[in-house]
């Protein structure tokens, strides 16, 4: 399997974290990682990173492609990728956050991917990978068919230690052996009584905002009639007002009238310069949750909107099958996705 850095070359900055992730790939999944030329190259050009993506997909020995991490500049070069290498050589791609741009590109070319499982995040949890994360990764890598999504019992979205006294910091490799603090999961927040099905499309709200701002190619209004939106926000922690504006943009473009439903991942509510207390994190999540539902309902009063799902910038994490079918059963409160 290929390791690429379509955004930020994190392996070149945090080699110890990278090596731990590679060990987990081998030991937990029995995979053989193959590193490409720009994987560790900090400051690699868009052209270099694009070349790695093309090479990874064209290599017939490569069965899956993993992004090392996210970043913030895929929007500058993904639009220049040639379609043929990916259409002619479809294979699973794993990544989230800034990799929303590449997953959107693949979607537009009829190639499904998986929104989740960046190498330096989900593969470096201590003392072992989250079993919940592993179970969905195994489905993505080795199984196919329809799977019912479940709720995790607990989750982590900070770098605080279990006792709250230390910080896990990639710049200090000795801290990687510290277990992070987990919180009890309050479960999904379900609104709407309508059943729905469609193809999953979306990603990180901040990246979606960039797609809309910069005129990136996205599905047509006709295509959105067969789509369930999949949205989540990153450690940039956009305010509820900023999130409202992005959701409103979907509404003003007529997209919210077309889509079959909306799935929202648990928002990241902690970062190093915003070490929010549990109470502040809860308020942040509630504010975002309420503004998303309110704004969607201004444009569509009937579609199901399910929030606080385990995908995106959270652990444990579901690798969501981007571009594949999802069924929402509002009567039984079940979400089923096709891997």
Is there a domain that residue 263 lies in? yes
Report the C-alpha gap between 244 and 231 in whole angstroms: 12
**In the chain, at which residue ranges do the beta strands (DSSP E only) sit?**
2-4, 34-35, 65-67, 93-95, 113-115, 146-148, 154-155, 183-184, 189-191, 196-204, 227-232, 261-265, 305-309, 320-322, 325-329, 334-338
Tokens of 311: 């995908």
Residues 284 and 179 in one domain: yes
pLDDT digits (tens, 9 = 90+) for 45-66: 999 999 999 999 999 999 999 9
Tally DSSP H helices, then E strands, for the chain. Answer: 11, 16
Is there a domain that residue 149 lies in? no
Residues 119 and 46 in one domain: yes
Is there a domain that residue 230 lies in? yes
271 φ, ψ (degrees, to nearest 5): -150, 175
Tell me how many domains the chain contains: 2
Tell me the residue range of the domain where 299 lies.
Answer: 155-338
Give the burial string for 25-38 (b: 16+ CB within 10 Å, else e).
beeebebebebbeb
Is there a domain that residue 297 lies in? yes
100 φ, ψ (degrees, to nearest 5): -55, -35
- pLDDT tier for residue 227 given thresholds of 50, 70 and 90: very high
Report the C-alpha gap between 129 and 219 in whole angstroms: 35
Please, where are the H alpha helices in 171-220? 205-214
- pLDDT tier for residue 298 given thresholds of 50, 70 and 90: very high
Mean pLDDT of 308-322: 98
What DSSP string runs through 60-77? TT---EEES---S-GGGT
- pLDDT tier for residue 274 given thresholds of 50, 70 and 90: very high
pLDDT digits (tens, 9 = 90+) for 98-139: 999 999 999 999 999 999 999 999 999 999 999 999 999 999
Residue 152's pLDDT is 98
Residues 304 and 178 in one domain: yes
Is there a domain that residue 254 lies in? yes
Is there a domain that residue 182 lies in? yes
Is there a domain that residue 150 lies in? no
Is there a domain that residue 299 lies in? yes
């Amino acid at each position: 399997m290929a390791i690429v850095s379509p955004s930020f070359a994190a392996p070149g900055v945090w080699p110890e974290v990278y090596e731990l992730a590679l060990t987990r790939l081998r030991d937990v999944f029995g995979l053989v990682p193959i590193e490409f030329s720009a994987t560790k190259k900090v400051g690699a050009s868009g052209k270099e990173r694009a070349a790695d993506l093309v090479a990874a997909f064209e290599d017939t020995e490569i069965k899956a492609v993993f992004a090392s991490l996210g970043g913030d500049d895929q929007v500058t070069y993904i639009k220049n990728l040639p379609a043929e290498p990916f259409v002619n050589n479809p294979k699973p791609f794993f990544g989230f956050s800034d990799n929303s741009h590449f997953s959107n590109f693949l979607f537009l070319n009829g190639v499904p991917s998986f929104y989740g499982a960046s190498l330096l995040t989900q593969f470096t949890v201590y003392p072992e990978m989250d079993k919940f994360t592993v179970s969905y990764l195994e489905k993505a890598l080795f199984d196919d068919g329809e799977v019912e999504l479940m709720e995790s019992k607990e989750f982590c979205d900070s770098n605080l230690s279990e006792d709250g006294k230390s910080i896990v910091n990639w710049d200090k490799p000795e801290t990687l052996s510290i277990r992070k603090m987990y919180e009890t999961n309050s479960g999904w927040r379900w609104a709407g009584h309508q059943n729905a099905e469609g193809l999953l499309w979306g990603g990180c709200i901040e990246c979606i905002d960039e797609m809309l701002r910069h005129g990136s190619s996205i599905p047509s209004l006709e295509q959105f009639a067969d789509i369930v939106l999949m949205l989540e926000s990153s450690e940039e922690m956009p305010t509820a007002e900023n999130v409202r504006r992005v959701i409103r943009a979907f509404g003003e473009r007529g997209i919210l009238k077309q889509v079959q439903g909306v799935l929202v991942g648990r928002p990241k509510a902690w970062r190093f310069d915003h070490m929010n207390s549990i109470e502040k994190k809860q308020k942040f999540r509630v504010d975002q949750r309420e503004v998303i539902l309110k704004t969607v309902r201004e444009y569509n009063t009937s579609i199901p909107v399910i929030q606080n799902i385990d995908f995106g910038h959270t652990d444990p994490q579901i690798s969501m099958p981007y571009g594949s079918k999802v069924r929402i059963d509002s009567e039984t409160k079940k979400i089923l996705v096709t891997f």
